Amino acid sequence: KAPPGVSVDPLRMVGKELKFLSGNIRQLLGSGHPALDKVAKYYTRSEGKHMRPLLVLLMSQATAVDPRKDLTRTPNTAPVDISLSPLSILEDTNPDTDRLVPEPPKTQSFVGDENILPNQRRLAEITELIHTASLLHDDVIDNAEMRRGSASANIEFGNKMAVLAGDFLLGRASVALARLLDPQVIELMATVINNLVQGEFMQLKNTAKDEAKPVYTDNTVEYYLQKTYLKTASLISKSCRSAAVLGCSAPEVVEAAYAYGRNLGLAFQLVDDMLDYTLTEAELGKPAGADLELGLATAPLLFAWKSNPELGPMVGRKFGREGDVQRARELVYQSNGVEQTRALAQDYADKAVAAISDFPDSDAKAGLIEMAEKTMKRRK
Ligand code: FPP
Ligand code: MG
Ligand code: MG
């Protein structure tokens, strides 16, 4: 355990685990069809931040050392039979054998952390699969041209392939989820998938009501926060919760894990929405200021709207008229929309840390706290 006051690098805590994660995910994505393989694995080539699996692994460790357990259940310590071998859709089309055959155990010896259960490790991979699927679909919806500094999948392979690859990832995630053999976790993670769609729908509509000239009300920020929960925080919170469930933590620990993920997820997306106004394209690895161009009114704009009613009609027409984007951006910079967004994100980051204050001290807990700090400091 690190001495008090010394910050822990969360990556160091589970770095070795994460090294195996990408390989395992690629193994999960074998399709037997070379073209599908290529598209499905496309977003696993570049090393993403792996923020969601990192949180799952840290939460697994942090709750493992917590003595508060649900004594009515026993943790499943068995290796998860999940080595999904590539399903050959070219050679094997017999419906009886057209299912996933476990591969023989790998000779490569990976001694994972003793405080992480095999099914929690698999959960970490599932969260990344669901996230990556949502990015494939998101880039189609957003007409994105770049992702992590390279051409997005929709540009590289076309919309049809990108959508199907996303669906394939969700199918694989569902199979892996079933193999966790935990109905509660299956339900949680399945709900995440529909939450992502609900959030995306709320975002497409932008405001609660269909009106051409919406006005700023108390409901405006509330709608945005609900959308943000569904679009971003649901995956993080429900996967943190699932990690605690798989570890057979006591109900109050499960709730704390969920509250941590929910608040961290909200902080994360608020920072994301803020960076869209403050960073350059080179820093982001994708076009800056993209949200207004997409017609999206995110937190910085909503805070600016409160004191600038002229933004209402622009929100209503999704900044579609010539000069709207430029004018809206000016009003955001003139108001304190960016600062208010940062302050709200900080509130949520603080709440995330407070949520796990009852956890016993451990390097993993310190790592979770560090993740909240990193979320606020991140520049990409
Ligand atoms: C990125 O947001 C996208 C999401 C957080 C979720 C997108 C969800 C869907 C497209 C719903 C359907 C998909 C699945 C798999 C259920 P962003 O566009 O704000 O961020 P970006 O700048 O990274 O593109
Ligand atoms: Mg997008
Ligand atoms: Mg989007």
pLDDT at 87: 45
Q: How far apart are CA 379 and CA 278, in angstroms?
A: 9
**pLDDT over 70 percentage in the chain:** 90
Determine the atom of ligand 1 nearest the C-alpha atom of 296: 19
CB-ligand 1 contact for 232 (6 Å cutoff): yes
Q: How far apart are CA 207 and CA 220, in angstroms?
A: 7
CB-ligand 1 contact for 30 (6 Å cutoff): no
Q: Is the pLDDT reported for residue 255 higher than 90?
A: yes
Where do the H-state alpha helices sit in the chain?
Answer: 10-28, 34-45, 51-64, 118-141, 153-157, 159-178, 183-205, 218-228, 234-246, 251-278, 281-284, 290-293, 299-307, 311-316, 324-334, 337-355, 363-377
Cα 364 to its chain centre, rounded Å, is 20
Q: Which ligand is nearest to the CA of 273?
A: 1
- Which residue's C-alpha comes closest to atom 15 of ligand 1? 134
> Do the beta carbons of residue 276 and residue 289 sit within 8 Å?
yes
- Residue 108 — left, alpha, or beta (φ > 0 → left; ψ -120 to 50 → alpha)? beta
4 confidence band (pLDDT: 50, 70, 90): low
| CA–centroid distance, residue 30 to ligand 1 (Å) | 23
Q: Is the pLDDT reported for residue 21 higher than 90?
A: no
pLDDT at 289: 85
pLDDT tens digit string along 181-216? Answer: 999 999 999 999 999 999 999 998 877 788 878 999
pLDDT at 91: 44
Q: Residue 289: exposed, middle, or buried by beta-carbon count in 10 A (0-12, 13-18, 19+)?
A: middle
Q: What is the mean pLDDT of residues 26-40?
A: 84
| Cβ within 8 Å of residue 45, ≥6 positions away | none
Query: Which of 16-25, 149-158, 190-199 is predicted with the least confidence, judged by mean pLDDT?
Result: 16-25
Q: Is the pLDDT reported for residue 103 higher than 50?
A: no
- Which residue's C-alpha comes closest to atom 18 of ligand 1? 138
CA dihedral 156, 157, 160, 163 (to 10 degrees): -70
Q: Which ligand is nearest to the CA of 200?
A: 1
pLDDT tens digit string along 354-363? Answer: 999 999 999 9
Q: How far apart are CA 276 and CA 278, in angstroms?
A: 6
Whole-number Cα distances in Å, 90 to 95, 165, 179, 209, 299: 13, 17, 25, 49, 48
pLDDT tens digit string along 66-96? Answer: 999 999 999 999 887 655 444 434 344 444 4
CB-ligand 1 contact for 142 (6 Å cutoff): yes
CA dihedral 190, 157, 50, 99 (to 10 degrees): 50
For 211, which DSSP code? -
Q: Is the pLDDT reported for residue 99 higher than 90?
A: no
> Do the beta carbons of residue 10 and residue 371 sit within 8 Å?
yes
Amino acid present at 207? T
pLDDT at 348: 98
Angle between helices 34-45 and 10-28 (to 10 degrees): 170
Q: How far apart are CA 39 and CA 29, in angstroms?
A: 10
Determine the atom of ligand 1 nearest the C-alpha atom of 138: 10
Q: How far apart are CA 271 and CA 355, in angstroms?
A: 20
264 confidence band (pLDDT: 50, 70, 90): very high
Query: Which of 17-21, 282-286, 312-316 is predicted with the least confidence, judged by mean pLDDT?
Result: 282-286
| CA–centroid distance, residue 199 to ligand 1 (Å) | 9
Ligand 2 (single-atom ion) residues, CB below 5 Å: 138, 142
107 confidence band (pLDDT: 50, 70, 90): very low
Q: Which ligand is nearest to the CA of 164?
A: 1
Query: Which of 48-57, 259-268, 286-295 is predicted with the least confidence, judged by mean pLDDT?
Result: 286-295
Q: Residue 123: exposed, middle, or buried by beta-carbon count in 10 A (0-12, 13-18, 19+)?
A: buried
98 confidence band (pLDDT: 50, 70, 90): very low
**pLDDT over 90 percentage in the chain:** 71
| CA–centroid distance, residue 318 to ligand 1 (Å) | 19
First to last CA, the chain: 29
pLDDT at 75: 93
- Residue 109 — left, alpha, or beta (φ > 0 → left; ψ -120 to 50 → alpha)? beta
Largest CA distance in the chain: 65
Q: How far apart are CA 291 and CA 337, in angstroms?
A: 15
pLDDT at 92: 46
CB-ligand 1 contact for 134 (6 Å cutoff): yes
| CA–centroid distance, residue 346 to ligand 1 (Å) | 23
pLDDT at 105: 46
pLDDT at 350: 98
Q: How far apart are CA 316 and CA 47, in angstroms?
A: 38
> Do the beta carbons of residue 89 and residue 31 sit within 8 Å?
yes
Query: Which of 41-45, 104-108, 115-119, 308-312 is predicted with the least confidence, judged by mean pLDDT?
Result: 104-108
Q: Which of 187, 240, 267 is closest to 63 using CA atoms?
A: 240
Q: What is the mean pLDDT of residues 305-332?
A: 95
pLDDT at 101: 43
Regarding an ipTM greater than 0.85, the answer is: yes
Residue of 128, 146, 196, 380 best suited for mutating to test ligand 1, as the one with most atoms within 8 Å of CB: 196
Q: How far apart are CA 27 and CA 323, in angstroms?
A: 48
Determine the atom of ligand 1 nearest the C-alpha atom of 194: 16
Q: How far apart are CA 337 and CA 306, in angstroms?
A: 9
Q: What is the mean pLDDT of residues 255-273?
A: 98
pLDDT at 7: 66
pLDDT at 82: 52
pLDDT at 212: 79
Two tokens at 104?
């023989």
CB-ligand 1 contact for 172 (6 Å cutoff): no
Q: Which ligand is nearest to the CA of 138?
A: 1
